[in-house]
Amino acid sequence: MTSKETIEAYFRSLKSKNGWEAYLAENMAFTSLTSPVRRVAGRAAYLEATKKFYGAIAAVDVKSMMVEGNRVCALTHYQLQPPGGAEFDCHVAEVFEVGDGKIHSLDIYFDTAPFPK
């Protein structure tokens, strides 16, 4: 499976809310490049740190994707619906490093202003 195919499959699984976690490598590294920068090491720690975000996804759409070898940049649009809160939009640049059909690193860039405080 190519890097592009891996990320396309990840987003298909994310849209269907079924099995997306299987695309995460056990030793994955995650960096949120917002302020302050946040880093998480390991699949289990990533899932714990992002469970509110993933639980709030009402819809996701990949607007564009750029691939260079094992690196993929996806420009995405999420509709988020937090429990008891109003739905809002979030546009994200996601930079993946992929190998053997798994995501080994994910760096994200987005505006935190729309997120509830």
CATH number for position 74: 3.10.450.50
pLDDT band at 23 (very low <50, low <70, confident <90, very high): very high
- pTM score > 0.85 for this model? yes
The reply to whether 115 falls in a domain is no
The reply to whether 12 falls in a domain is yes
pLDDT computed for residue 24 by the predictor = 98
The reply to whether 117 falls in a domain is no
Which of 18-27, 33-42, 46-55, 108-117 bottoms out in mean pLDDT, i.e. has the lowest? Answer: 108-117
DSSP letters for 11-75: HHHHHHTSSGGGGEEEEEEEEE-SSS-EEEESHHHHHHHHHHHHHHEEEEEEEEEEEETTEEEEE
Looking at the predicted structure, is the pLDDT value of residue 111 above 90? Answer: no
Looking at the predicted structure, is the pLDDT value of residue 70 above 90? Answer: yes
The reply to whether 97 falls in a domain is yes
Is residue 38 within 8 A of residue 67, CB to CB? The reply is no
Q: What percent of the chain has pLDDT over 90?
A: 85
**Which positions ≥6 away from 101 have C-beta within 8 Å?**
1, 6, 23
pLDDT computed for residue 59 by the predictor = 96
The reply to whether 116 falls in a domain is no
The reply to whether 81 falls in a domain is yes
Residue 46 structural domain: 3-17+24-110
The reply to whether 105 falls in a domain is yes
Q: How many domains does the chain have?
A: 1
Is residue 75 within 8 A of residue 11, CB to CB? The reply is no
